[in-house]
Amino acid sequence: MTVAPTGKRKLDWLAAFLSYLLPGLGQIVQGRVGKGILYFVCLYGLFFYGLSMGSWKNVWLGDYSQQSGGGVMGFKLPGFTKDLSYRKEFAGQFWIGIAAWPAVLQYQTTEPIPKSDDPGKESWQPAPNKLFGSYMQVPPEAELNKLQRDADKRWDLGWVFTVIAGVLNILVIYDALAGPVIRDEDEKAAAAKPAGGAA
């Protein structure tokens, strides 16, 4: 039975931010430890399982500033949004929190991807980051092609897992912010309400 929420919900912005950083951390701080651990295990499990399915090379954001294309429905996008239009998956993966930050750091420090008609594009290899190496760094095109060709669809399924984990964490953030959709006190209030809706 779905019960309409009664009363105003108190919003816990700090817990929401903590749950963004680490899935379930906000719930643990709120005292809902079991639920926090459930979120952490399920979402990190899903995210890193997907990452491993893609040979640890399916979460990244590249610098496509030198490309002439990019955009949404014919509209050209500026800067970061243009890069995101080339790698839309990252818009979902980002919400897993700290686990996706190496990709943001790599995006900031890796040189732009050469133009499509650049003769050196085939052999282009980005310099590894001093801290993370090539972890969550944009892979060279030749390597991407090889992964997609040889990975028996698991590479593609892997990024789907990581995107779902990130998007599910948005629900977890909302749970930390405002509590679950159906609250025990709402049900008690609905049960205590006399039949016919009279207050």
Partner 1 sequence: MILFAATSIYWDLPVLLIAVSLVYSATRHDRWDRIVKEAAGWIVRMVGFLGGLGVVLYILSTYPEYWKIIAGIGIVGTIIYYGYSMKLFKKRAKPAAPIPGAK
Q: What residues line the site for partner 1 (CB under 8 A)?
A: 32, 34-35, 38-39, 42-43, 45-46, 49, 53, 152-154, 157, 161, 164-165, 168, 171-172, 174-175, 179-184
Query: What Å distances lie between residue 110 and 55, 64, 119, 136, CA to CA?
Result: 20, 11, 20, 11
The smaller minimum CB distance to partner 1, of residues 58 and 110, is found at: 58
CA–centroid distance for 41 within its chain: 15
What are the two backbone dihedrals, phi and then psi, of residue 169, each rounded to the nearest 5 degrees? Answer: -65, -20
135, two tokens:
């972890």
**Closest distance between partner 1 and the C-beta of residue 167, in Å?**
10
**Closest distance between partner 1 and the C-beta of residue 54, in Å?**
11
The smaller minimum CB distance to partner 1, of residues 47 and 107, is found at: 47
- Compute, in degrees rounded to 10, the torsion defined by CA atoms 189, 192, 194, 195: 80
**Closest distance between partner 1 and the C-beta of residue 183, in Å?**
7
Distance CA 61, CA 87 (A): 6
**Closest distance between partner 1 and the C-beta of residue 96, in Å?**
12
Q: Are 113 and 63 in contact (CB under 8 A)?
A: yes
**Closest distance between partner 1 and the C-beta of residue 157, in Å?**
5
**Closest distance between partner 1 and the C-beta of residue 175, in Å?**
5
The smaller minimum CB distance to partner 1, of residues 12 and 175, is found at: 175
The smaller minimum CB distance to partner 1, of residues 141 and 156, is found at: 156
The smaller minimum CB distance to partner 1, of residues 49 and 80, is found at: 49
Distance CA 189, CA 126 (A): 60
Distance CA 31, CA 175 (A): 13
The smaller minimum CB distance to partner 1, of residues 10 and 153, is found at: 153
DSSP label of 92: H
